[in-house]
A and B are shown apart, each in its own frame.
Chain A
Amino acid sequence: MTWIKDVFDPKARRWEELYRDRWQHDKVVRSTHGVNCTGGCSWGIYVKDGIVTWELQQTDYPTIDPEIPPYEPRGCARGISSSWYIYSPLRVKYPYVRGALLDLWAKAKEKESDPVTAWASIMRDEAGRRRYQEARGKGGFRRVSWDDALDIVAASTIYTVKEHGPDRVIGFSPIPAMSMLSYASGARFLQLLGGVTLSFYDWYSDLPPASPEVWGEQTDVCESADWYKSAFIATVGSNVNMTRTPDAHFLTESRHAGSKVVVFSPDFSDVSKHADWWVPVNAGQDAAFWMAVNHVILKEFHFERKPAAFLDYLKRYTDSPFLVVLEKSKEGYTAGRLLRANQVSGYKSEENGDWKLLVYDAKAKSLAMPQGSVGFRWQERKGLWNLEMKDASDGREIDPLLTFLEDNDGILQVDVADFAADRGLKRGVPFKSVKLSGGSKALVTTVYDLLMAQFGVSRGLEGDYPKGFDDDSQPFTPAWQEKLTGIGRKTVISFAREWAETAERTGGKCMVIIGGGANQWYHTDLTYRAVIASLMLCGCVGKSGGGLAHYVGQEKVAPLASWSALAFAQDWVKPSRLQNAPSFHYVHTDQWRYEGPYSAYYSVPKESPAEHTIDVQVRAVRAGWLPFYPQFNRNPMEVFRDAENSGAKTDEEKAKWVARQLKEGKLRFAVEDPDAPENWPRLWFIWRANALLASAKGHEYFLKHYLGTHTGTVADEVAKGSTKEVTWREESPRGKIDLVVDVNFRMDTSALYSDVVLPAATWYEKSDLNTTDLHSYIHPLSPAVQPCWESRTDWDIFKAIAKRVSEMAKAHLPAPVKEIVAVPLQHDTADELAQPSVKDWAKGECEPIPGKTMPRFAVVERDYTKLYDEFVSFGPLARRDGLGAHGVHWDVSDLYDELARRRPFTFPDGRKLPSIEDAVDAANTILYLSPETNGEVAYRAFKSEEAKVGVALADLSDEGRKTSYTYDQLVEQPRRILNSPVWSGIVSGKRTYSPFTLNVERLVPWRTLTGRQQSYLDHEYFLRFGEKLPTYKPKPDAASLSELGKSDGRKGIVLNYLTPHGKWHIHSTFSDNLRMLTLSRGLEPLWLSVKDAGSIGVKDNDWVEAFNDNGVTVTRAVVSARIPDGACFLYHAPERTISVPKSPARGYQRAGGHNSPTRLRLKPTLMVGGYAQFTYSFNYWGPTGVNRDTFVVVRKLEGEIRW
């Protein structure tokens, strides 16, 4: 082959300039993707001749430690295809309004020159209103000028505020962290207006309710570099490769560094490739596996071997030693509430005695009251809210007894529920008798002893205990779980042994990476609690390389305190109207009307009455557990006026007047009659979201009841007769919403169905900030080019709307107006002590006391003519009240003044306030006032926390005290966040962020009832629903969900319908991007197993129809051996705008999207409030929008494909 020559000759190679020319570029600009993604990857955007050409990753993250793999490069196929959007045919380049509405508007404007009056005339024209509502989603867009679009939007806003009340204006945008200013733009506008901001984390079913339940924490997880420190990683329903693409290398690298990886996933998912063991647990049955794991750990380690480290950990950091009162039940005893300090004579007069819990001190052989429970957090005397092992009354050292097995007053047979077999069991538990202050006696045991009984570890005690691991007649043995999980007992046993042994050898370096595959089921909290138990029992939580790493939608706004103040306009007005979206949509889209009592699909103890979820929802609002907007059946401005006219002078008197009106039924909560026109939401702003499809569980009900356009649901409304608290209206309303405004850069499903579409800048055209919890850096978005065509940044769009609203207000709302804002009891405030027991004032069980037994009613004043001025300046409340988050507060007055000096905005009254006119100013304001980005603030925050907790903490701010980041610095290079008491991890030195290390190492309590990790939940609802301890409950089956009544399963095959996060999109973003569509199959297909596909005659790439009574979706099939029988996968989330044909099952109407077959089902236990960690906070607590308990009929598409 001598004729293959190396060529050096420059002449022969002059053509090589061709590719060099193509590579040439003019500049590289740092930005990222503000989509709903946890990546938080810093990108270089390449610009050539003023055009964005492509992007490649920035790789300059500061090194944490050369002995752990670096964070470079970060990114994924989706992010790198982002530049496609900018000049694509999907780009929204101009404002659009639907023609049917525009015609009405033009006509109205001919008659009425005033835009608000013109809008009012359209709203009064019922036929016209119906006409444009029915046209929604059916084409007919017309390009309009920004001026005209803003006129419509502002007129509708003013009209709605005046006519119905500001709490009829709602807004939705998800997960702020990835572009926090864009989120803040709309949220700030809404809160200045008095509108409603809808939550996202719970709505997406990404909030793991077990986290608030166990830790009093929304979610706090380790950064991905911490995986490297683990010795044993179990992934549970988390497809790391696919959904944590930039981080996945830490998993493989951890493996190479000697850790073991076990993957739990029903399908052979991408991450299974990295598994030492792949354990294909049946979909949705993980809880059964982990319950049995705990059985083995408790038996072999806790009972037999007793590793000192495990026992010591449980004593210090969990509720295991706390005492529970055993109450007489029908034929034995049942575990009731935790023993309260004020129940016994020694501690009777304790402040907050209902909220201080007791243990049995092995040293003194007597009851003891450890420091740190929630009662100490909110008492007058500070400094006792910590985890030192001391009795709070006299400071003596204590050694809480974990079990009464050796030292007891006898054994009692205690009830244990076996929900899988639908039966009750009795298991022996050792008890002690303690004297109560009234002279009576209580029989108590420890949480630890109850755990042993619950998990079925007999320890030689009598009762319905299993005989060994092979006994499958009793829960929760390895043999017992086989039928549920499909996994053999041997696997459970060896897994549990290796798990606990590894934890013992490494000091807790066992980690569970868990995600949507476990979290999006009805019983997610039970699954998580079973998993968390295995971590607690082996001392893994709060350890670097250990603990629960929940990754689904959990992004973290690192500078939370200053950001929240700015985003929710709390610098100008408090409180905010923050609504949990699952409750909101369940009620307002009327999905509650399509189901009967929850007992059909939810296993609850027999003695628990069968109720309808809507009734629990109504009671939760009444009791101040959950927010609900609109608040009342009247405009809250009107309610204020009436209160004033009644003679109520102070704000407190007005609140009392409102409470009285409610009690007397003269005023009603809107939730009690959601279908009455005065209670509908009216105007909806959607930005950086796909609220009408991607996240819309029960999408077809959104189309029907919100939009009033075509729908794919054929389900019957069946709730009549089974509800008590809610008014049943025979005819359900269609088209509740007057106007949907979508701010978007691409024509997605939500844009297509909206009335007004405003062109938004992409992520390469604006300034913003980005953080995530997958890494510990903060970095910016910055503009590579100006916003193209007529697009504007979100910040500028909401500024423009605010300006137009202010202008129109001069005629319509010229003077400041006051109104009543109803808010629920709040987490991280003394409201956590509001309701030691559940009482309903509406039933006369207690008095209606605002802020105690019902919501708080606050009086606020708004000047709509100043809306714009307030928007663009950082208001004085921040200076007056300081800032804070998660119960930590600090003063910022001097820093505020400094900001006002640097960049002043002159308010109409002459005051100089810090300007946030420009998004960069807003970014700098955020960076300057939060501990994570300004070391001086960190110092103040730690000092203030020290005083509350009573242990030294401020040294944690030493390393970063002189650091203060600015936006420009971040543009230069990403920077690492600083230690902050707002979060529970530590990042100084070479540490990787790991949650709860602050609790374990510095003895700061968890924000729970006992101040410890809580495995026993003694709220009345958890007792009543049989979920006080970790347990297993059957997942709802196809029959119990009753959504196949009109969808004949014989026409195809009935399959569990799963929508896990996919490979070619981040939710729906990128799903319509040509790059991703080309690398997949040109659409989002339905994955079927070989056997299931064969049974309905479907071959790979055939068109299929998947439907139930809720709706239908049509796509092509992928037939793969990777998929288990009995389930089909439609990866989240395709657009119904791309390649969706018509559906034969619905008479050749356009088929729907992935959320068409879903319908909301809320879990009642997640609605409770006013009780320690069970106290509402936005995106922290409340029922979640679960979606995996869904079944569809799948069949081959009949006949020709029609477009």
Chain B
Amino acid sequence: MSAANWRNAMNSGAGRAAMRARVSANGAGTLVAGDRALPPISIPTFWRHIGARHVVVILFALAYPWFATPFFTFQIGAQSLALGLIALSLTFLGGYGGMVSLAQITVAGIAGYGIAIFGAASAADATISLGWPWWVAVLISIVIATVCAAFIGWLSVRTEGIYTIMITLAVGVAFYYLCLQNYSVFNGFQGFQRVHAPTVLGVNLRDAMPFYYLALFWSLAGYFFVKYLLRAPFGIALQGIRDNPRRMNSLGFNVTAHRIAAYALAGVIAAVGGVLLVWYNGLIGPGSVGTSWIINILIIAVLGGMRHPIGPFLGAVVFVLLQTFAIDLIDRERFNLLIGAVFLVIVLFSPDGLLGWWAGLKSKFLTPRGGVR
């Protein structure tokens, strides 16, 4: 999508304010003090921005396990949240940074493998796992994954936007082949089994409800983190770089450093999602980071819509529902055809995904005829 499309897609107040700031920028001073165009982020302002729809969604998400079956809580709810978190990192990079990175599941996979290698896991006959305490494994994995994300960013950012997809796809598939063919570290095709969520303070995180709340907590954390970031000077600058890197460069911003930092931050989000995902599956292998999942994460992000951080979670819910129940609707064998067709329809007719379709509906039915919205 061209820069104009993304710009138009940004209908949040912060986006418009940022645009105003950029348009009126006549020196580094105005933009660095970007908060002049934006109300500072403080608690009272934060409360003012919470609307009825936020409350409804959060209440629903909190109450969900109480009326849903354990299956729906675990396989639909928790899986959607974990996948949504990983797709959020893609939305952050792609929608707001203009860099569509297909290597987010790779970063998530690195974190997942880290948990398996540093923590307790079973690799059939081989003894690769170090068996360190779970919180050590989690911390180390997230740090390693973030560093790798920054490295992937460093490889990808010195070229223009469309190259990023190619490079990150190549990196992602190369990592898949590495996991597939290396035995000393990644245990090859078998991967790792019995990568279980720990029991913390007497609560077994493997159970459906506790795990769901864990995933919900981190999803909300990721969501609010992204929302905060987008309104902070860093996020504004990032969107400016997305729209016009040359201009931002001339204004004194280090475009490359900003982009790599964006990759690293997205990497943290993806890494947390990766930890959740490996605990959900209870296993990790090359199949978890291969081409099908690379494309699936992209489909989730595009399906939901890259215009708002809630998009990836929406997309994840729809995707997981389709994946789980497609076999009841059509031949499960043709699931790929179904998901490909859905993806094609979305990209052709509603490139902003479900959110865009919803916004289009709203404006069509809620705008008074002849009115200006």
**A and B part of one assembly:** no
